[in-house]
Amino acid sequence: MQYGPREIITPFRPIPLDVPEGMKPNEFFNSTENLNDLVNNNGLLVNPENLLLYRKALGHSNKFDTSIIYNTSKCILNPLGRPVRRTQVPDNVKHVWNRMNQILIEYMLEAFPDPNDTLILAGEASLDATWPLTSPGVPSIRMLHNHFIAFDMDELRNAGLADAGNPNLTDGGQNSLFHSYMHDVYRDFFADLDLEILRPTDDDSSRIELTGYPQGLPSWEIQGGVAALKEVRFWREYDAILKGFIDFYRTFFSQVSTRNAPLPKGVYFPEQIEQKLLFNNDFLATAKKVRDHCIRDAKYANAIRWQPAFKQLIYRNDAGRLIVTISQNSIGNAITELLGVVVKRTPDAETYQRDEPKLIERLLEVRRRLVRADLGEGITTRYWPKE
């Protein structure tokens, strides 16, 4: 068997939406106007905290695929003022959101118990407007959402190899930049985080053998497995990893932008930044390398994301252990590509309809568990009742 990233074909039922003249389809799907379809045709559950569980109409997998979006479109009209990462979510909302995450992940592990049969992942990618403003498809919705996905391993094994040079698989070269020139300082910075449940793991333990991904990223095993997700401590540590990434990224690109820049304002770990980053020759030399490249290459400079853009996820490795990892997020890529899975969506209503009954059955079962835990109320659509 050949090993490497896979490209799978996922059929979907075309969405009967009229895209306004002058808008590209991806711009419309990222708009608040599209939320009516998301709620009325695909909404599963909503709660007073404005967390909406929904079926992915243009999904990654028809085995299991759902998301929770923090729908602030009606209470925060300014798209640039909406929370787009966990660290910006109010504590009461995050408390409910973490409990929803725990129940969904627990259900996925129960429904798909064998890692040899199913690859499962849960996580989020930032929706910051960090693309160049002149690029097509800059997200206007800017609302935090996460993903819960299960892939059939036989389907992955039988899928064709993806182009290993696909920029979405390499984070546009920025993760490889970190890995090639700052591997040790990157991991050393994370090593100082106060973690008890999350234990650093090596590349071999975290990698999915079939795809060879993730590649070169800091990863942590969740000690205690799914039971640890019921502990508040775990979610605080999960947030700490995100905060550490944001600090590292902001500090690095502040040095790229401005030589010998001061400590960024509002950082979470100022002492670690001063000791581990701003006095590290490899770190600063790499910033100079990128700065010089930006000065002489306009196209390269235009592709830089100057603000932190990330993918953070929980997934099950080949040994059945739960792993946490985090990565820079490149322009236009999907969270699945962090694990070496490229999804090519194809309009095919007939094939989708064959998969739909089992998919909906699973989605409604996890909804029942969320309702039972007082995490929301069901939504009625043309495809399923409220209860």
Give residue 333's pLDDT: 61
Give residue 27's pLDDT: 67
Give residue 116's pLDDT: 98
Share of the chain above pLDDT 90, in %: 64
Give residue 181's pLDDT: 74
Mean pLDDT score of the chain: 89
Give residue 309's pLDDT: 80
Give residue 174's pLDDT: 57
Q: Is residue 211 part of a domain?
A: yes
Share of the chain above pLDDT 70, in %: 89
Cβ-contact 294, 300 below 8 angstroms: yes
Residue 168 and residue 294: Cα distance in Å, rounded?
A: 20
Cβ-contact 379, 66 below 8 angstroms: no
Cβ-contact 337, 226 below 8 angstroms: no
Q: What is the pLDDT of residues 87-104, one digit of tens each?
A: 999 999 999 999 999 999
Q: Is residue 189 part of a domain?
A: yes
Q: Cα dist. 89→81, 82, 84, 265, 380 in Å?
A: 12, 9, 8, 19, 27
Residue 42 and residue 353: Cα distance in Å, rounded?
A: 15
- In the predicted model, is pLDDT for residue 35 greater than 70? yes
- In the predicted model, is pLDDT for residue 31 greater than 70? no
Give residue 302's pLDDT: 79
Q: Where are the alpha helices (DSSP H) in the chain?
A: 25-29, 35-40, 91-111, 153-158, 174-191, 203-206, 232-257, 270-272, 281-296, 298-303, 349-372
Count of structural domains within the chain: 1
Q: Is residue 360 part of a domain?
A: yes
Q: Is residue 385 part of a domain?
A: no
Q: What is the pLDDT of residues 139-160, one digit of tens each?
A: 556 788 899 999 999 999 999 9
Q: Among 160-174, 313-327, 362-376, which stretch is predicted with the lowest mean pLDDT?
A: 160-174
- In the predicted model, is pLDDT for residue 383 greater than 70? yes
Can you give the residue range of the structural domain that contains 15? 6-378
Cβ-contact 79, 63 below 8 angstroms: no
Q: What is the pLDDT of residues 284-327, one digit of tens each?
A: 999 999 999 999 999 888 777 788 888 899 999 999 999 999 98
DSSP string covering 252-273, please? Answer: HHHHHHSTTPPPPTT-S-HHHI
More confident call, 55 vs 134: 55
Q: Is residue 387 part of a domain?
A: no
Residue 159 and residue 149: Cα distance in Å, rounded?
A: 17
Give residue 206's pLDDT: 94
Q: Is residue 384 part of a domain?
A: no
Give me the amino acid identity at 325: T
CB-neighbour burial class of residue 11 (10 A; exposed 0-12, middle 13-18, buried 19+):
middle
Q: What is the pLDDT of residues 199-253, one digit of tens each?
A: 999 888 999 999 999 987 889 999 999 999 999 999 999 999 999 999 999 999 9
The stretch 268-287 carries a mean pLDDT of 95
Q: pTM here? A: 0.93
